[in-house]
Amino acid sequence: MNDVEKPDLKNGVPLASFPVGGKLVGVAEGEEVLLLRRGTAFFAVGAYCTHYHGPLADGLVVGDEVRCPWHHACFSLRTGEALRAPALDPVSCWRVEQVGDKIFVRDKLTPSAPKRATNAPSSVVIVGGGAAGLAAADMLRRDGYDGPLTIVSADDSPPVDRPNLSKDYLAGTAPEDWIPLRSPDYYRERRIDLAVRSRVSSLDTKRKKITLENGKTMEFGALLLATGAYPVHLTIEDATASQIHYLRTFADSKAIITKAAYAKRVVVVGASFIGLEVAASLRARGIVVDVVAPNKQPLERVMGAEVGEFIRKLHESHGVTFHLGETIRRVHDRTVTLSGGTTLDADFLVLGVGVRPSLALAEQAGLAIDRGITVNEYLETSVAGIFAAGDAARWPDPHTGERIRVEHWVVAERQGQVAAKNILGRREKFDAVPFFWSQHYDVAINYVGHAEKWDEVEINGSLDARDCAVTYKKGGRALAVVTIFRDLQSLQVEADMEAQLASPRQRRLEAS
């Protein structure tokens, strides 16, 4: 439907046109508005998600929330508040009134002022200016914390939209001003002290104090460790540092773009999500790309052989050449020699061979560590008042019953949000279903749940037709579901997994 055809909701729409659960996109005061019916109640909110403009009309309504079909952000239908990342900003929300047999969208509601936090620490310091760190700072202010709030980040730049660094920005289709998550005004207005290029070198848990590499010290009432992860580095015989690129930061992405401007051929090492997204983005720039990886299929460990083969064929159809079952033996000038003896020509190499959680600070401070910073269900570490969130944290996942650590943007942000609430004493458990997405050319892959091992893969639909849901099961139980072009199903799977957790059986298990 184009703008001309959209009804003006201020003029009212007939009640008869609304089945229970019905949706309608119209306009009010020049803005596109989604009007929804739940039972006898009507709600009206902005029609597009504040993360990447996903169409909320194609999303899922769960209780009095609407969830975005693209990356599962969640908004309150009653207030418009962005309840769960990746959206951080609210959608507008409108008062709805029924008069006779018509429904009218009336005035826009003004967001209520944050309630003052009563159980607030004297100050909060967040170590890490990434997904978890920024989302935590944002939630602290939203949730009424008005004390001193500092983010200390080793990155060169303020918090950025890291997932975009391997996607549209690297491909040259997203402008640079899309990348910062927030403007300088945002930090000033919310009184968030942001120290970039500042690495914390030690943490004294008894004196509640951190020390930066530059010698500066800071005391804190509560601390959040959101130190993320760093790329695994490989030593490659004869390669010079300038030939090898990694991708984690804005600066890394810019460095690849600068080189790509003059490059004709690039070798990507690793068929991971990041490696493959880099391959796709460099292909968009017309560069010849070879991918070298030891696996039989790309992404096989995470998504199995079937999805791996689909991804390989997708990239091959865009001109990528794979050298699977191979590693790099050496790099001499422009010549890359593989373990099997094949030689490739390359202007430079991008290595995407995995990441490791950044644990140095937690280790030095003596916090409990188990392949990640150990946290409880409230995301609190082994020391009270010190929390951890994001790629660095390993938490007790109620869905699998295991302690897990993942590297997902949405999980990091949601953990940052929950940690913020717990810093304010709200005692909220982190029980979100893990979710991530990855983009390859025009194909988005959504993954809900967590399956490290599985004994059965069930494919509903067709990978080749790009219309499917792939379920990973263990002992007959669905642990995770990958969807391609089935966004609503992905949201439904997430909601179903949440509902299982809330089931009486699960509550009995928790109580026992």
The string of DSSP letters for 306-333 reads HHHHHHHHHHHHTT-EEEET--EEEEET
Burial call 366-386: b when 16+ CB within 10 Å, e when fewer = ebebeebbbbebbbbbbbeeb
Of 232-240, 401-409, 459-467, 482-490, which part binds ligand FAD (CB under 6 A)?
401-409
Which CB sits closer to ligand FES, 246 or 435?
435
Q: Is 135 in the site for ligand FES (CB under 6 A)?
A: no
Q: Give SS3 for 418.
A: helix
Task: For residue 160, give the 3-state DSSP assignment.
Answer: strand
Residue from 23, 32, 52, 195 that binds ligand FES (CB under 6 A)? 52
The CA distance from 334 to 356, in Å, is 29
Q: What is the DSSP string of 368-384?
A: -BSSSEE--TT-B-SST
Scanning residues 25 to 44, which ones bind ligand FES (CB under 6 A)? none
Part in contact with ligand FES (CB under 6 A); list of ranges 50-58, 75-83, 303-311, 421-429? 50-58
* Nearer to ligand FAD (CB atom), residue 7 or residue 275: 275
**Count of residues of this chain found to bind ligand FES when the rule CB under 6 A is applied:** 11
Query: Looking at 26, 46, 54, 298, which residue binds ligand FES (CB under 6 A)?
Result: 54
Strand, helix or coil at 192? Answer: strand
Q: Does 70 bind ligand FES (CB under 6 A)?
A: yes
In this structure, the number of other CB atoms found within 10 A of the CB of residue 354 comes to 13
> Under the criterion CB under 6 A, does residue 46 sit at the interface with ligand FAD?
no
Query: Among residue numbers 112 through 141, which ones bind ligand FAD (CB under 6 A)?
Result: 127-133
- For ligand FES, which stretch binds (CB under 6 A), given 67-75, 145-153, 274-282, 329-337? 67-75
Write the DSSP symbol of residue 177: G
Amino acid at 290: D
Residue from the set 155, 397, 487, 494 that interacts with ligand FAD by CB under 6 A: 155
Residue with Cβ nearer ligand FAD (103 or 226): 226
Torsion of CA 16, 20, 21, 23, to 10 degrees: 0
Q: Interface residues for ligand FAD in 263-322 (CB under 6 A)?
A: 274
Alpha-carbon distance of 70 to 250, in angstroms, equals 23
Contact 28/9 with Cβ under 8 angstroms? yes
Helices 300-317 and 273-284, axial angle in degrees (round to 10): 10
Residue numbers of the site for ligand FES (CB under 6 A)? Answer: 49, 51-52, 54, 68, 70-73, 86-87
Residue numbers of the site for ligand FAD (CB under 6 A)? Answer: 127-133, 152-155, 162-163, 165-166, 199-200, 226-229, 247-248, 274, 358, 361, 390-392, 407-410, 412, 436-438
